[in-house]
Amino acid sequence: MVPIGVDVHKRRCKVVELSDCKVKVRRPIENTREDWLELLGELPPDAEIALEVSTAGYFAMSVLEEAGWGERAHWVHTAGIDSPRKQKYDRWDAERLARKLAVHHLDPLPEAWFPPSEIRELRLRARQRCWLARLRTQAKNRLQSLLEMHGWQPPGTDPFGTWARLVGPTKVVRRYE
């Protein structure tokens, strides 16, 4: 097995390969589908990849899964392997991931669960629905606030109910007596 450590960021990724106990720093790649597929084409057939858990790592992991590398890719939670350091260097992070992957059989990596594509889709739909519900509530609250500021009072208790839509808001001259 050839361990590959990748420090994934929003735009660029640092890639380090350990072969014959020697560190080989590969050229940084852009965090795009094309660059990931190009990197995968250059790697030896017995390579395994360790990525750190992050938002950008989520994208990279999905690309690896689509390319058939799902079984040889490890989504690592770095909180379990971080050493206390004052400075953070991407190359060192990638190298640390590769070294931990090299001894994975002796000291297991703290891997995070990467959901299958069906579950990722369901999660995305649920997040979007929550986001839309929240947005709708904010819009209703703002509209209600604007109506009250200008002295308009919707009929009934629910300003967005059927009755209010049929009748429409009414002007209140003296609201508080």
Please check the confidence at residue 99 and state whether its pLDDT lies above 80.
yes
Residues 105-164 pLDDT 10s: 788 888 888 888 889 899 999 999 999 999 999 998 898 888 888 888 776 667 777 666
Distance CA 64, CA 132 (A): 30
- Per-residue model confidence (pLDDT) at position 166: 67
Q: Is pLDDT of 174 > 60?
A: no
Give the alpha-carbon dihedral of 97, 67, 13, 20, to 10 degrees: 40
Q: How far apart are CA 83 and CA 66, in angstroms?
A: 32
For the segment 15-29, the average pLDDT, to the nearest whole number, is 88
Name all domains of the chain by residue range, CATH numbers in brackets.
2-114 (3.30.420.10), 118-171 (no CATH)
119 against 174, higher pLDDT? 119
pLDDT of residue 41: 92
